[in-house]
């Protein structure tokens, strides 16, 4: 792994500069601006005391994710989804992933019949927006839950563990951690991995873009992802403790 | 693994009854009715000599997938997507998966500027519809390519290898192959795996529904999926040779 | 009428091969795969205990129809209505026709506040899809009503008579029964006729495609349609009795 | 037929007061405000030198119809289709009928590659809006064609015959002509008939609302419609000659 | 101001011929056909006893405006908003303006929990459609309120003052009143002004189309608008008294 | 004016703290984060060498604006327009205003056939988002034009003057400058004013929310707005010179 020159000059198992800035908006119950290098995602957690219709009376709460990208978050301007009148398949796929991932670390019964919506809006994109969204979205969610306990809306904090996500992939046939855009578009394959802080895998989504991947490569990628998520869990804990 | 009683009575590493019936519609350039037990997906391959705008002049072709479910393919009737006026996020996610998977085994340059659309319509659903769609969709695609060569539209068959897909998952904490609906909805986690016939993994999409999965579990699931895909490759070859 | 050579070789007053296969899907309360020659329509009847809002409290039930065509049911692939985001005017026109026709043979009060949705999905089209949909849709509806009585949901079978439909038209200026696609697109005019088994006309929709039709021609076409519907009523009774 | 008291006091075979006022708008190439009693439809014909894509290069023209109802054209306000974001199935059905009917009396080759759009907007509705739309739409179309000849856009008038439409139906089991709203909603069945001035039937759309209709009843209704259309043809000729 | 030759020959401070015809439709609780020269807008007021959800229980009523233009109200045919599937930004802007303007002269508490919808449909357009809509819409609203009092739906007439609107603008750098289409499209800037009959300004919307306007020009334009609205208030009173 | 206590403690003619931060995104040809107190709008200018279809061949360019608000930019979360599938009337109204305002200070011929899209996305809202959008949007536009000249895309800078916008209104019957949310929602009326740096008024949009405004009040509000815009022009010049 020593000879690889990543476009960014990073080592193969090196994350980009990670920054999780909290309380960045005035109104949201929780917020976090997650930066993975040049990828900047603004995550807000919004509380509502009304859950989706099919959950009413269940005594349980719900966490859902929404995702958007500002039109000029990217090299060339993309059309505005609100103007086009629909969200792309990619957007919906990512929204579903955010929601599933964050619900998996929550005790929805402890949340009571409350809903928390995590909005993840990409201000600037350089690869890995969904992983920054999940990692920052967790921080926003945790802050909102803490706030709901403080305000007496719920009595027990429903967050059971942390959730964080990172991408891994093959670039010039070498497994690398936390792909930026040049690596993402020029690599052979990639995998988005969502982990929980107790060591388990919540989601694994791998695609052989240019060629299928071998079982051995998949195993190495999972290992790399574990290292990356471990560092992200540390970063999350640092800002959550500081905020406390 | 010996004591598990799957709802269907199958062994943990046993596929459902697989049937790939070819040439089931009168008009499509290729067609296959794929049955994985009670899951029935009608796959058709439709040829067009016009590729998407952004590909024109590239000399290359395109393969795309569309997916739909008849409203009463399931236990309770779902609303018709055409009537609702949009395709669900789930539908779009599956369509994108089908397209990526099938393109990955094609030589798009050998296809010339032709497009093949694979329509996968679920007549009856009992879990695993996307894996049946990919497995049957490949057969429809291969038949259509063969037809295009026979008709002189292209000179070389652009199919480079086979693609097949199967689901695996944890049911009562035991890894099992080819989940049916009761296992899918009652299990701890599941993974959809798309493989190519040269042994590689094209797509891996795993979700810990009830709990995160360990790295060891993921490894076992991938192994099970390899066994399942290997049997599906045999089934595909059998019908494609018979049809030849 | 003796000299006409129909493209299919049929006599002018001859139906295509009719097949009404029942119980073709695992979940629907009633189902029928209706084949009029190469036209294949899968009809399912789905029960719900909730009626449209404007009917609540009326004590009456409702029967509604939905219609769709698989993209490659036809010679050349049509776009998927769910992807386009709306149903065509033709689709909606046919849906309304199916609903009106089937309601007209029902005692909606005897149905109680239950709704039955008849989904008619065209797997393969060769002309006459709406007539096959109504004819097969009636069988699915009758089976579902029988099932609701058996299950004790309603006490009295609300089906009062049979409904069946057939197309008639002018081909090379000769009135013919049950047009297939070449006759439909190459003829001078056509009429879709829905009858009830007590001899009445429920719907008559005639169009002079190439030239207006005379009153005498209309009369002959209605007569032909009566013959056709009569044979369809026999076919329906045969499968409903067999199923009983 | 003598004893029937129609709500309006009309004889069974009596049209409502018919008025076809021409040149009612300042800009359209042809226009006609058609009044059938309290039913008022504003019909305009708009010329464009561009035909739909699939017709380009054919040397032929096209006539198409659009239909709308002002929200308060009726007893109770209906929602605005533009605000709802889609046209109802009923609207689309009527639009298709208007287009087919008017094209059938045109020589589309003589029209050259020109398109005429007939907009039929219902200002006030009291039953029979589609028949007033077709009858008035024909007048607008004829005026526009005359104008195109005068302006030298085309050399030959492409109108071959007149088209007019009327409704007939069973009210208290008696066949009546030109149903108004109370008759339309309270009758047993009705039929919309479009005729061409050479005596033929262009469209026949009959529905047994409350009960199926017999073949004899259908024959009587067609006869009544012939009488009605004959009077409408006279009215059209009167205004077209006057305008000339 | 003496030398200006307006395309219409009007003096700079001269309105077009104004006509406010009342009770022009059979069903609406109030109606007015407002003509400002060749601009003709049909305004209807429709009563409903149900207010928007967010107002229920407030004891107050609501007035809302909807606006549409017939496709051939203009020189060249515009596409039908219902067919395009959405209302343009311009349409929505005008609708919001109509609603705000008319609500501002009402005592919504005196209206009780009733809603009045003002539909303004442009039959013919020659500039100033929104001002004719507001001026005529007020008349329809006033008639509907009078009717609701007469019918005993409400006990007190909730109309507190009149609302009227007119456009003013710079044409060849001279301030002119009530712009027609040639002035509107060829002028340097224009302003739509809504006034209430007690002398106040409800809405002022000015745009420097070709060049910014000075503060002095704005002052002159407001003055001109006062003169115009004053004449419109007279015209409204005339028809409302006559109708009484 | 001395006794007024504005909720923020500002003097009646005092702007909020204004900040125009440039080059805040990595990819846009020009960008500016405009802050008017707690109102934060991210403005980007994106260049494209293709103009709208109706402008092609005109030799002129185009400037257009798009506007969006992040769901949780406000006190309570609003629904995401992309998810709802359409932009609100308010959004479209603002977009049109931004585009008109910025085009009015440009020489579109000097821009050549290039289009610049100004995206204004509200990250946090506290009243006055449209005025911050225009003021910051102008800065982004100016930077993009400077860049296009530097890159040789165009030879002459097409920016002719500055554009800036501010709101004014009546709060407790006193005219105040630059309304924040409490003033906007609690005041008697407000006006958004767009000015160009040569002293003219580009847009004036005033609404008497609670009561009509007098001509004298309008005059005072315009005067206040002139003062505010003058300060904004200074702020724009400061950052544009610094950036140069």
Q: How far is CA A145 from CA A139, A239, B109, B199, E94, in A?
A: 10, 15, 53, 46, 43
Do F86 and A82 count as a contact with CB atoms less than 8 A apart? yes
pLDDT band at A3 (very low <50, low <70, confident <90, very high): low
In contact, F127 and F39? CB cutoff 8 Å: yes
In contact, F46 and F35? CB cutoff 8 Å: no
Residue E3's pLDDT is: 64
Do E42 and D86 count as a contact with CB atoms less than 8 A apart? no
In contact, B124 and C26? CB cutoff 8 Å: yes
Q: pLDDT at residue B2 above 80?
A: no
Q: What is the pLDDT of residues A143-175, one digit of tens each?
A: 999 999 999 999 999 999 999 999 999 999 999
Please report how many Cα atoms fall inside a 13 Å half-sphere around the Cα of residue B96, on the Cβ side. 17
N- to C-terminal Cα separation, chain A: 40
Chain C residues within 8 A of B70 when measuring between CB atoms: 42, 44, 68, 119, 121
Please indicate if any CB of chain D lies within 8 Å of the CB of E23: no
Report percent pLDDT > 90 for chain D: 91
Q: pLDDT at residue F102 above 90?
A: yes
Residue A243's pLDDT is: 75
B contact residues 138-157, partner C, Cβ 8 Å cutoff? none
Chain A residues within 8 A of B214 when measuring between CB atoms: 199-201
pLDDT band at C75 (very low <50, low <70, confident <90, very high): very high
B204, B223, B226 ranked by CB distance to A206: nearest:
B204
- Gap from E234 CA to chain D (nearest CA, Å): 27
Report percent pLDDT > 70 for chain B: 98
Do A77 and F48 count as a contact with CB atoms less than 8 A apart? yes
Q: What is the pLDDT of residues C92-109, one digit of tens each?
A: 999 999 999 999 999 999
Q: What is the pLDDT of residues C172-199, one digit of tens each?
A: 999 999 999 999 998 999 999 999 999 8
Chain A residues within 8 A of B88 when measuring between CB atoms: 92
pLDDT band at F210 (very low <50, low <70, confident <90, very high): confident
Range of lowest pLDDT (B192-196, C43-47, D198-202): D198-202
A26, A70, A87 ranked by CB distance to F38: nearest:
A26
Q: Rounded to 5 degrees, what are φ and ψ at C17?
A: -60, 120
Residue F133's pLDDT is: 98
How big is the CA angle at E178 (ends E174 and E182), to the nearest 5 degrees?
A: 75
Say whether E159 sits in a helix, a strand or coil.
Answer: strand
Do A42 and F123 count as a contact with CB atoms less than 8 A apart? yes
Please indicate if any CB of chain D lies within 8 Å of the CB of E117: yes
Do E28 and D80 count as a contact with CB atoms less than 8 A apart? no
Report percent pLDDT > 70 for chain E: 98
Question: What's B158-216 look like in SS3?
Answer: CECCCEEEEEEEEECCEEEECCCHHHHHHCCEEEEEEEECCCCEEEEEEECCCCCECHH
Q: pLDDT at residue E4 above 80?
A: no
Q: pLDDT at residue C48 above 70?
A: yes
d(CA D178, CA D170): 11
DSSP D156-203: S--B-S-EEEEEEEEETTEEEES--HHHHHHSSEEEEEEEETTS-EEE
Chain F residues within 8 A of A73 when measuring between CB atoms: 25, 27
d(CA D214, CA E229): 64
Q: Rounded to 5 degrees, what are φ and ψ at B45?
A: -115, 125
Q: pLDDT at residue A17 above 60?
A: yes
Residue D244's pLDDT is: 72
Q: Residue C99 has what DSSP assignment? A: H
Question: What's A134-188 look like in SS3?
Answer: HHHHHHHHHHHHHHHHHCCCCCCCCECCCEEEEEEEEECCEEEECCCHHHHHHCC
Beta bridge partners of B120: B43, B67
Q: Provide CB contacts within 8 A for C46, sequence distance 6+.
A: B71, B72, B76, B77, C28, C29, C116, C117, C119, C144
Q: Containing H/E element for D52?
A: none
Quickly count: other Cβ atoms within 10 Å of residue F58's Cβ: 12
Q: Residue A66 has what DSSP assignment? A: E
pLDDT band at B1 (very low <50, low <70, confident <90, very high): very low
CA E183 to chain centre: 19
Q: Strand D163-171 vs strand E189-196: parallel, antiparallel, or unpaired?
A: unpaired
Arithmetic mean of pLDDT, C63-87: 95
B86, B104, B214 ranked by CB distance to A208: nearest:
B104
- The mean pLDDT value of chain E amounts to 95
Arithmetic mean of pLDDT, E59-66: 96
- The mean pLDDT value of chain C amounts to 95
E89, E195, E226 ranked by CB distance to F95: nearest:
E89
pLDDT band at F85 (very low <50, low <70, confident <90, very high): confident
Please indicate if any CB of chain A lies within 8 Å of the CB of B191: yes
Please indicate if any CB of chain C lies within 8 Å of the CB of B23: no
Do F70 and A117 count as a contact with CB atoms less than 8 A apart? no
Report percent pLDDT > 70 for chain C: 98
Structure pTM? 0.92
Residue of D nearest to E124 (CA): D25
Do C68 and B75 count as a contact with CB atoms less than 8 A apart? no
Say whether E110 sits in a helix, a strand or coil.
Answer: coil
Residue D1's pLDDT is: 44
The order of strands in the sheet holding E174-177 is E174-177, E163-171, E189-196, E201-207, F201-207, F189-196, F163-171, F174-177
ipTM of the complex: 0.94
Arithmetic mean of pLDDT, D63-88: 95
- The mean pLDDT value of chain D amounts to 95
Output C235-239 pairs: Cβ under 8 A, ≥24 positions apart. Answer: C235/C18, C235/C20, C236/C20, C236/C135, C236/C138, C236/C139, C236/C142, C236/C162, C236/C164, C237/C162, C238/C20, C239/C20, C239/C21, C239/C22, C239/C32, C239/C139
Of F59, F57, F45, nearest to F116 by C-alpha is: F45
Q: What is the pLDDT of residues B4-49, one digit of tens each?
A: 789 999 999 999 999 999 999 999 999 999 999 999 999 999 999 9
A104, A212, A222 ranked by CB distance to B218: nearest:
A222
d(CA A15, CA C213): 77
- The mean pLDDT value of chain A amounts to 95
C46, C85, C87 ranked by CB distance to B77: nearest:
C46
- The mean pLDDT value of chain F amounts to 95
The order of strands in the sheet holding D115-124 is D18-22, D30-36, D39-48, D115-124, D62-69
d(CA F47, CA F25): 14
Residue E1's pLDDT is: 44
Residue E2's pLDDT is: 52
Beta bridge partners of F174: F171
Range of lowest pLDDT (B81-90, D41-50, D225-234, F127-136): B81-90
Please indicate if any CB of chain E lies within 8 Å of the CB of D90: no
pLDDT band at E209 (very low <50, low <70, confident <90, very high): confident
């Amino acid at each position: 792994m020593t000879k690889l020159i990543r476009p960014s000059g990073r080592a193969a198992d090196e994350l980009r500069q990670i920054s999780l800035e909290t309380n960045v908006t005035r109104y949201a119950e929780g917020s976090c601006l997650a930066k993975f290098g040049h990828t900047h995602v603004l995550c807000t957690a919004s509380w509502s005391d009304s859950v989706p219709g099919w959950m009413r009376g269940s005594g349980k709460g719900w966490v859902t994710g929404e995702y958007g990208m500002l039109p000029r978050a990217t090299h060339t301007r993309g059309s505005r989804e609100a103007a086009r009148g629909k969200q792309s398949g990619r957007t919906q796929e990512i929204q579903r992933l955010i929601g599933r991932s964050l619900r998996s670390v929550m005790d929805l019964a402890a949340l009571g019949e409350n809903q928390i919506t995590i909005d993840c809006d990409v201000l600037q994109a350089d690869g890995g927006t969904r992983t920054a969204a999940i990692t920052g979205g967790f921080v926003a969610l945790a802050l909102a839950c803490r706030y709901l306990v403080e305000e007496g809306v719920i009595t027990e904090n429903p967050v059971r563990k942390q959730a964080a996500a990172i991408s891994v992939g093959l670039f010039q046939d070498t497994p690398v951690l936390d792909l930026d855009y040049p690596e993402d578009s020029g690599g052979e394959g990639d995998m988005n991995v969502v982990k929980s802080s107790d060591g388990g895998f919540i989601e694994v989504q791998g695609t052989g873009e240019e060629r299928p991947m071998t079982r051995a490569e998949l195993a190495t990628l999972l290992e790399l992802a574990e290292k990356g998520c471990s560092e992200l869990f540390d970063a999350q804990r640092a800002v959550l403790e500081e905020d406390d």
